[in-house]
Amino acid sequence: LAKTTQPISMDSYEGQEVNITCSHNNIATNDYITWYQQFPSQGPRFIIQGYKTKVTNEVASLFIPADRKSSTLSLPRVSLSDTAVYYCLVGPMNTGFQKLVFGTGTRLLVSP
């Protein structure tokens, strides 16, 4: 499984755009990139997933360059409630079970 590296923590202010970058230099051809969000005292929550280029949903955007060795989670106009830990995961496709490997995550603190 590809190892991921992301900043331990980031600080931001309400209304700003936050970009969290994850490095995965040894990503395999059939690996997907997935981001999860975890609030204090809650289980992780799926945010977004991508394979290449750009993916956007109602919560975030995911930018993946052509070499796929990194990815950037973009959170537009963050609010206080976006304070959480964000995990970048890389793993292969499976039609059955999924063995997610969580790293240390990035602790995002949004201040007023």
Query: Which parts of this chain interact with another protein (CB under 8 A)?
Result: 32, 34, 38, 41-46, 49, 85, 87, 89, 91, 93-102, 104-105
Strand partners, 34: 49, 89
**Cβ neighbours around 80 below 10 Å, total:** 11
Of 50 and 75, nearer to another protein (C-beta) is 50
Q: What is the smallest separation between the CB atom of 73 and another protein, expressed in angstroms?
A: 14
Cβ neighbours of 56 (radius 10 Å): 13
Which tokens belong to 21?
């970058």
Minimum distance from residue 66 beta carbon to another protein (Å): 20
